[in-house]
Amino acid sequence: MTAAIATGETILVVGGGISGMTAALEAAECGRQVVLLERSPTLGGRTAMLYRYFPKLCHPTCGLEINLRRLKANRNLHVLTMAEVVGVAGRRGDYEVTVKIRPRYVNERCTGCGDCARAVTATVPNPHNYALDRIKAAYLPHAMAYPQRYVVDPSIVGTEDGEKAKAACKYGAIDLSMREETIELAAGAIVWATGWKPYDAAKIQPYGYGRFPNVVTSVEFERLADPHGPTGGRLLRPSDGKEAKNVAFIQCAGSRDENHLRHCSRICCMASLKQTQYLREAYGEDGRSTIYYIDIRAIDRFEDFHRKVQRDPTVHFIKSKVARIAEDGKTGNLILHGVDTEGYHRYEAEHDLVVLAIGMEPESNGIRLPADVVVDASGFIEGSADGGQQGAGAAASPYDVNRATQSATAAALRAIKVVHRAATVEGVSS
C-alpha cells in the first residue's frame, strides 16, 4: 500500500476540511502525488456543519460540491478516511509517517441504500449535529458525505444489532471482521490542516452552559437552523421545544480572555451577525436578536454585511461584556446581568435563548504533533523550521473559509517547492 500510493515526492495533507481539500487539490492539479488523510469518516470538516456562509448567506454545500467534483476527477489524489497520523520520522523531503486507520466495518461495495440503518435499533449521538440528537448506529455521516459510504459504529459490533445490519446488506458491504490497521507512508512534505474546535463552553462558569439548557453555542445554533439539523431547521429551545424569538448573542465567549483563549477568534462577530439573519428568516419582524459585544470585528468585505445588519430593526446591539447569566426556574428564560458601557447603566435583560459566540481553539491542541513543529502561543500551527511541514487554514489561524482556502493554497505551493527541491537539487546532491 505504501509503495502504491506514496513516495518521497508525495505531499501528505492531514485534515480533510475545506483547507485540507483545497491544499490537496491545488497540489494534485499541479501534477503532484497527494495523500489526503482525514480522521472522521467523511471529508468536509466543520464547514459542512454550517447552515449558511457569510457574507452571501449561501449554503456550504455549493463549495463542497465543487471540491468533490474536482477531487473525483483527479487521479493524483488519494483519500484515506478514519485515519490519523501517529508518528512522523525524518526530515524535509524525506518523511516516514505512521498512520492508524480505524475500521469502518463497511467496504467499497456500499451503495448507500440505507437498509442497514433501517435494520438496527441502537442509536449513537450524532456527531454531525454536535450530539444534539441521535442517529442509528449504522449511518451515513451526512447527505454530502465523501465517500458516500455508511459507517457501522463500533458499539454494535459483536451484538445482535451488528448482525442485523450485516444480514440486511444485499451487497455484502458490511464486514464486521475489519480491524484497526497501521500503515507507513513516505512523504516529502506535510501540510497540517487539522482545523479548529469550539472552545469548551462549560469552562465559562458564569454563563451556565451545561447547567441551563437554553444556553447553546454558536456551532449548535448553526445546526438548529439547518433543515438537516436536530429540529428540522426550526429555532426551538432545548428545554421545552418552544420557538426562540428573543435571542441574545454573547460575543467573545471564551476568546480575548486571559482565563480561556487569549486570542480573538476573528470570525465569531461575523457568525453572530449572520445568525441574526436566521432569526429574521424564521420570524420576520416578530424575531428579536440582541448582540452583546465588546467591539464588532468585521473588516474588509465584511463591513457591508455588518452595516446591513445594523440597519435591520429586529437586531439590537449592546456594548457590554455580559457578567453572568441566571435562569428563571419557572419559564426557562435567561436573565443576563451586566453594564452597558455606552450609557454606563446596569441591566437585567430577559431572553428566550442565549447563543454563546464560542471561540475557535486549534484542534491540534488535542493531538501530538511532531517535535519540530512550532506552534504559536494559542497552539496554532506555524510549521517546522526547515519548511517541510506547515500549518494551513484554521489549523494555522482562526480564519473564515475564504482566508482558510487562501492559506491552504499558499501551503500547497510551499509543499510543491519542498518536494520539487527534494527531487531535483537536494536529491541530486545527496
Ligand X SMILES: Cc1cc2nc3c(=O)[nH]c(=O)nc-3n(C[C@H](O)[C@H](O)[C@H](O)COP(=O)(O)OP(=O)(O)OC[C@H]3O[C@@H](n4cnc5c(N)ncnc54)[C@H](O)[C@@H]3O)c2cc1C
Q: Which of these, 419, 421, 401, lies nearest to 193 by C-alpha position? A: 401
Count residues binding ligand SF4 (CB under 6 A). Answer: 25
| DSSP SS3 for 63 | helix
With CB under 6 A as the contact rule, which of the stretches 112-120, 122-130, 185-193, 229-237 interacts with ligand SF4?
Answer: 112-120
Minimum distance, C-beta of residue 105 to ligand SF4, in the bound complex (Å): 9
**Which three cell numbers, joined as nine digits, stand for 58?**
449561501
Q: Does 112 bind ligand SF4 (CB under 6 A)?
A: yes
Decide: 419 and 11 in contact? Cβ < 8 Å: yes
Of 29, 84, 163, 200, the one binding ligand X (CB under 6 A) is 84
Of 116, 190, 191, 419, the one binding ligand SF4 (CB under 6 A) is 116
- Which of ligand SF4, ligand X, none interacts with 393 (beta carbon under 5 to 8 A by kind)? ligand X
Instruction: Give the separation between CA 223 and CA 339, rounded to whole angstroms.
Output: 31
257 CB neighbour count, 10 Å cutoff: 15
Instruction: Give the separation between CA 21 and CA 15, rounded to whole angstroms.
Output: 8
Q: Does 173 bind ligand SF4 (CB under 6 A)?
A: yes
Minimum distance, C-beta of residue 21 to ligand SF4, in the bound complex (Å): 24
Count residues binding ligand X (CB under 6 A). Answer: 39
Count Cα atoms within 13 angstroms, Cβ side, for 340.
Answer: 12
**Which three cell numbers, joined as nine digits, stand for 250?**
454573547
Burial string for 278-300 (b: 16+ CB within 10 Å, else e) reads bbbebbeeebbbbbbbeebbbee
Would you say 244 or 357 has its CB closer to ligand SF4? 357
Q: Does 266 bind ligand SF4 (CB under 6 A)?
A: yes
Query: What are 334's strand-pairing partners?
Result: 327, 351
Q: Does 186 bind ligand SF4 (CB under 6 A)?
A: no
Would you say 146 or 399 has its CB closer to ligand X? 399
Of 139, 150, 305, 380, the one binding ligand SF4 (CB under 6 A) is 150
Q: Does 36 bind ligand X (CB under 6 A)?
A: no
Of 8, 90, 103, 114, the one binding ligand SF4 (CB under 6 A) is 114
**Which three cell numbers, joined as nine digits, stand for 264?**
480573538
Q: Which residues contact 388 (CB under 8 A, 6 or more apart)?
A: 91, 92, 93, 95, 188, 189, 190, 418
Minimum distance, C-beta of residue 222 to ligand SF4, in the bound complex (Å): 15
**Which three cell numbers, joined as nine digits, stand for 153?**
459504529
Minimum distance, C-beta of residue 100 to ligand X, in the bound complex (Å): 10
- Which of ligand X, ligand SF4, none interacts with 309 (beta carbon under 5 to 8 A by kind)? none
The length of the chain is 430
Interface characters, 315-354, with ligand X (x: CB under 6 A): ----------------------------------------
Q: Under rule CB under 6 A, which residues in 340-369 are in contact with ligand SF4?
A: 357
Query: What are 17's strand-pairing partners?
Result: 44
Q: Under rule CB under 6 A, which residues in 182-201 are in contact with ligand X?
A: 193-196
Would you say 87 or 112 has its CB closer to ligand SF4? 112
Q: What is the chain's alpha carbon radius of gyration, rounded to the nearest angstrom?
A: 23
Q: Does 255 bind ligand SF4 (CB under 6 A)?
A: yes
Would you say 2 or 148 has its CB closer to ligand SF4? 148
Instruction: Give the separation between CA 331 and CA 152, rounded to whole angstroms.
Output: 40
Q: Which of these, 59, 52, 61, lies nearest to 279 by C-alpha position? A: 52
Q: Does 264 bind ligand SF4 (CB under 6 A)?
A: yes
Q: Does 226 bind ligand X (CB under 6 A)?
A: no
Instruction: Give the separation between CA 400 and CA 394, rounded to whole angstroms.
Output: 8
CA distances from 71 to 43, 149, 251, 307, 421 (A): 11, 16, 37, 37, 26
Q: Does 305 bind ligand SF4 (CB under 6 A)?
A: no
Under the rule (CB under 6 A), what is the footprint of ligand SF4? 106, 110-116, 150, 168-169, 171, 173-174, 251-252, 255-256, 264-266, 268-269, 297, 357
